[in-house]
Amino acid sequence: MITLFIISLLGVIAMLAEILKFKKLLAPLTLLGLIAAMGAGVSEWNNPVFIPVFNNMLLFNHYALAFSISLCLVTFLWFLMAQDYLKTETAITDHYALILFSLAGGIVLTAFGNMVMLFLGIEILSIPLYILAGSRKTDLASNEASFKYFLLGAFAIGFLLFGIALIYGATGSFELNTINQYILQHPGEMPAFFYAGILLIIAGLAFKVSAAPFHFWTPDVYQGAPTMITAFMSTIVKIAAFAGFFRLFSTCFVSVADSWNQLIGILAIISMLLGNITAIRQDSFKRMLAYSSISHAGYLLLAILAINNHSAGAIFLYTLAYAVASITAFAVLKKVYALKNNDLIESFNGLAKRNPLLALSITIAMLSLAGIPPTGGFFAKYVIFNTALTGGHLWLVIIAVIASLIGVYYYFKAIIASWFKPATDENLIELSLQDKLLLIITTLLTLAIGLFPEFILNLLS
């Protein structure tokens, strides 16, 4: 709860910074604030009971706390990475405020106890991003990204709202627990429009987590938006959206799992295969990461599909490992982009000669995304497969295995480019202290998640 307060307050402070002229202090203040927010989350962890707040609107239980801390951590890393970008922007305070409000929306998504808060969380998470995606006002691609994201996002939210309304019509409540009680008390008596409601909610959420076939916005928006905003979308938004997705389905709709799990299974299969296969053909690193994020949504859906007591831990570990590796990848991309002014995979050529740290971090990040030991990505994938197999979905896991094999192909394109392909110019690349620190932290984190996953896994089991 305090985490949410701190983040919201930070957002307000960031808006005031322009008027009260302490813009220079904003960066350290935000970083400190994020640390404080994480600390607040940790301090609440050992509370004997978790009391719902605001008439059951929010409940910060272990699940919500763990995901909030993870969101704050990734945002912290994001701010470390994005310092250069934020400095070059004119409206620096707006950026800070928008990002922080978006994060606040994400935290609401991890903790909602009521459909209204689900809706509010998604809107608070998304609206700042519609603006940020278009923040390069003179760039046509950025405008396109913003517009596309906004229009399709509005559609998806419409579906979600319609779904919520139908559920309300069937059960007479917005509250997750009440809905669950109602379903349990009326087994087999739910009207058809209740199931239509679930279907519409799945459509709306699948859009947010960019699962196929609701993914069409992803590549264009990822590519058009400023790189740092893309990084934010592919990490923090992903974690928050999945946290919300799983929270909703694990509290409300478990008892009618038969009605929706085939659908989720189909979404998972399409996302894994389509994401990975399309990523192979991409020349642009950003577009490749966009398709890769679609495929990761597919793997994560497996855990929602299998819905058992390992699922929460599996999703938590997976999103964290994925986000940390993605931040590394975007940090390297940022550096490469600054030099070449394009995001082609070719631009990585000869990176190992020009700066070994960059090459090493991108290698570890790619290995992690591809799911190769001893990185965090491997263990995350293992946990997901294990969870899905526990649920008895052998065939889906076989498809997932094949999909991850295809994935290795394009992740290795970046590794091969940086170690093997000759560079067009041989000048060394200088890294700022901040960048070095960030790359070292994220790389070590990736390895640490792979080698000592037990701590993270036990948080939510």
Judged by CB under 8 A, does residue 440 bind other proteins?
Answer: no
- Whether 164 contacts 119, CB under 8 Å: yes
CB of 435 to other proteins, least distance (A): 23
Shortest distance in whole angstroms from residue 449 CB to other proteins? 12
**Smallest gap from residue 373 Cβ to other proteins (A):** 5
Among 16, 20, 339, 401, binds other proteins (CB under 8 A): 401
Least spacing, CB of residue 385 vs other proteins, in Å? 6
Among 9-17, 234-242, 247-255, 418-426, which window interacts with other proteins (CB under 8 A)? Answer: 418-426
User: By CB under 8 A, is residue 397 in contact with other proteins?
Assistant: yes
d(CA 267, CA 255): 20
- 280 touches other proteins by CB under 8 A: no
The yes or no reply on residue 394 touching other proteins (CB under 8 A) is yes
Angstrom CA distances, 79 to 33, 208, 228, stand at 12, 23, 9
Separation CA 203–CA 267 (nearest Å): 10
* One residue of 398, 437, 440, 444 binding other proteins per CB under 8 A: 398
Query: Do residues 275 and 303 lie in contact, with contact meaning Cβ atoms separated by under 8 Å?
Result: no
CB atoms near residue 191 (< 10 Å): 13
Residue 326 or 387: the one with the smaller Cβ distance to other proteins is: 387
98 vs 399 by CB, closer to other proteins: 399
**Least gap, CB of 310 to other proteins (angstroms):** 9
When asked if residue 268 is in the footprint of other proteins (CB under 8 A), the reply is: no
Per-residue x/- mask for other proteins, residues 360 to 389, rule CB under 8 A? -------x----xxx---x---x--xx--x
Tell me if 395 contacts other proteins by CB under 8 A: no
Count of residues engaged in binding other proteins, rule: CB under 8 A: 28
Task: State yes or no: residue 454 binds other proteins (CB under 8 A).
Answer: yes
Question: Residue 233 or residue 300: which is nearer to other proteins going by CB?
Answer: 300
Query: Where does this chain touch other proteins (CB under 8 A) — which range of 81-89, 104-112, 285-293, 402-410?
Result: 402-410
> With binding defined as CB under 8 A, does residue 32 bind other proteins?
no
448 is an interface residue for other proteins by CB under 8 A: no
Q: Interface with other proteins includes 162 (CB under 8 A)? A: no
Q: Which of 165, 233, 150, 234 is nearest to 198 (CA)?
A: 165
* Residue 308 found at the interface with other proteins (CB under 8 A): no
Between CA 285 and CA 346 the distance in angstroms is: 9
| 330, 419, 438, 446: residue in contact with other proteins (rule CB under 8 A) | 419
Interface residues with other proteins (CB under 8 A) are: 367, 372-374, 378, 382, 385-386, 389-390, 394, 397-398, 401, 404-405, 408-409, 412, 416, 419-421, 453-454, 457-458, 461
